[in-house]
A and B are shown apart, each in its own frame.
Chain A
Amino acid sequence: MPEEAIYQLRNITYHYPTGEKALDDINLTVYKGERLVFLGANGCGKSTLLKLINGLIFPQQGSIFAFGEMINEERLSREEIAFAFRRKIGFVFQNSEAQLFNSNVWNEIAFGPIQMGLGREEVVRRVEEVIEMLELGPLKNRPPFKLSGGEKKKVALASVLSFNPDILLLDEPTNGLDPRTQRMLLNLIKQLNKAGKTIISATHNLDILSELSDRIIVFGEEHRLVAEGSSEEILSDRSLLIKVNLIDEEFHSHTHGDGHRHFHVHA
């Protein structure tokens, strides 16, 4: 694993405006080029952590260092710092409806590159190429409400890839995707990772862990980190998965010949 740390989170605690705790004393380092997965049951704070990493919300306690520099509200309100920071990170939200705010697919994909100050020809070239890569051609003039759930997810991904971020944040990336699109997405993530991009995903889907991760960080329901390890280590620790409420006693797992381990229930 490459050892250059790009993110350092120290003693992060975050409360929602209502006072409810979302993250409690999180310490974490993210290395360049790794595939990191935040694993946890619904409502454990994974999505909140992704938003903190993207500098969209800020912790009440603790500090975040990205690329060696401190990230906080005051610094990110300075345009040149925000600009340099944002162009490195792409965030695919869980709710595609929020991410697709433009009037059609083409404009959606062009929004990022235009905001990042790319020239007109470059924007057009990138948008067209991303459309071709993700097979979005027939949809490019469609408004978002005429897209299916899977198509929306693909467009959301395209809208982030078009400005070529170094770090991809994916919130429940395979939710609502049919098996073929899910396959395509996982292959694409693998390819992007090989090209040197850091992939940070949040999920509760155990089936995709081994493909999505080099390293897994497990969240407990008390909003703290409870374990860290490779997918093999985490998936073989049945009592851990039960403790964090991801599976119950009825689940058991097999390891297949290729080393892939998966959990299931017999009806």
Chain B
Amino acid sequence: MAVPEWLLVPQEQISPNASIKTSFLKNRLRKVSFIDKTLEELTTVVRDEIFSEAIAGRDGLLQKINPAAKVVSIFILICVACLIRHIIPLLILNIWLLLLAYISSIPLSAFIKRVWLVVPLFTGIIVFPSIFNFIQPGTPLLSLFHFSQRIHFGPWVFPSVLAITSQGVWGAVILILRAGACISLAALLTYTTPWQSVLKALQKVFVPQIFVSVLEMSYRYIYLFLQSASEIFTARRSRSLGHTSTKEQRSFVSGAIGSLWSKAINLSKEIHAAMISRGYTGRPDTITNFRIRTLDWLWILFIVTVSALLIGGDRIFA
């Protein structure tokens, strides 16, 4: 093997008379690209949120409950949250869920951030238009704008006053609280249960095995692909200097997507072969090792009682 001569000479020092041009280097901080950052964040989030399972290992109330019992109870409570039609019982439910998070050793700040930053934002956007009388007629709570006459817009006729209605606001608050309760419940389950147990519990309860298997494999490989993707970016960063144009970056990103895609296809073929080789015939089967104990029955009983109280309370408010 003939090694080219330049490879055997130490790198040239950078000086004004050097043959290497450095004018493409601008004296500024290299900005980490948006995709770089997103990928890094994504990997961190996936690692910390889905894979760390640190909270699931803590000693708390919900950690002691059998995952299958937990899935059933959370399903019941989600139904309850959807059936309640008044603000006070919904508020009580939400506060009680916060309390549950607290006694299950979930850091409250993280829990609140996860639930109450997301819900008002997304649900809020959805329900926002419905608080105005233009969308949903009702008793005006706050008049915003007076028009001289009713507005005709194609087949639609709008009232002459744009106002926020009390029905709209209450409806929106109820929907947000309801969504908050449901998300809190899901968060409680995933915080206090290792992901694998969640999947096994799903299978134990009512979800078809094939669906659980697909989820399980996605869980298994999602991290591998995030890792491969972030390795591609790290490898590139270690070789690139100075500023790259947006066009170059675009072509790099599309190339990376393509190479990941073909990697994924090849890997999926290999995995399928490995499964077939070990006797897979399209009927996945696993051994679950869940024992329902007295505590779990007590827990379910407790949840049923709480549900009855909440729904009963809701009727009283009516």
Contacts and interface: CB of A to CB of B under 8 A. Distances in A.
Query: Do most interface residues of chain B lie in helix, strand or loop, or is the interface mixed?
Result: helix
Contact of A79 (B219, B220, B281): B281
B219 A116 contact: no
B220 A56 contact: no
A124 B278 CA distance: 17
A91 B196 contact: no
B287 A101 contact: no
Contact of A56 (B196, B199, B277): B277
Interface residues of A, number: 38
A144 interface: yes
A91 B271 CA distance: 12
A89 B273 CA distance: 13
Interface stretch (A92-100, A202-210, A218-226, A237-245): A92-100
Interface in B94-123: none
Nearest to B215: A103
A163 B287 contact: no
Given A86-B278, A98-B267, A143-B196, 5 more contacts: A86-B276, A91-B278, A99-B274, A100-B220, A120-B287
B41 interface: no
The 7 A-B residue pairs with the shortest CB-CB distance, nearest first, are A98-B270, A115-B279, A112-B278, A56-B273, A91-B277, A99-B274, A86-B279
Interface in B188-235: 195-196, 199, 216-217, 219-221, 223-224, 227
Contacts of B51: 143, 145
A91 B274 contact: yes
A161 to B, nearest CB: 11
B219 to A, nearest CB: 6
Nearest to A159: B278
A56 B224 contact: no
Interface of B: 51, 195-196, 199, 216-217, 219-221, 223-224, 227, 267, 270-271, 273-281, 285-287
Contact of A114 (B195, B267, B277, B285): B285
A31 interface: no
A123 B267 contact: no
A112 B274 CA distance: 10
Nearest to A86: B279
A251 interface: no
Given A98-B267, A101-B217, A89 B277 contact: yes
17 contacts: A79-B281, A86-B276, A89-B277, A98-B267, A98-B270, A103-B196, A103-B199, A103-B219, A110-B287, A112-B278, A115-B278, A116-B279, A143-B51, A145-B223, A159-B278, A163-B278, A163-B279
B120 to A, nearest CB: 34
A63 interface: no
B50 to A, nearest CB: 10
A181 interface: no
A154 B128 CA distance: 56
A107 interface: yes
A97 B273 CA distance: 13
A103 B216 contact: yes
Given A97-B224, A103-B199, A103-B219, A123 B279 contact: no
Contacts of B221: 101
A15 interface: no
Nearest to A107: B286
Contact of A160 (B220, B278, B286): B278
Contact of B220 (A82, A83, A120, A143): A143
A143 B227 CA distance: 15
B51 to A, nearest CB: 7
A16 B270 CA distance: 14
A261 interface: no
A54 interface: yes
Contacts of A90: 277-278
B277 A86 contact: yes
Contacts of A86: 276-279
B274 A98 contact: yes
A51 B281 contact: no
A99 B278 CA distance: 10
A83 B217 contact: no
Most chain-B Cβ atoms within 10 A of its Cβ — which of A87, A95, A101?
Answer: A101
A215 B284 CA distance: 38
Interface in A56-84: 56-57, 79, 82-83
A104 interface: yes
A111 interface: yes
A24 B139 CA distance: 84
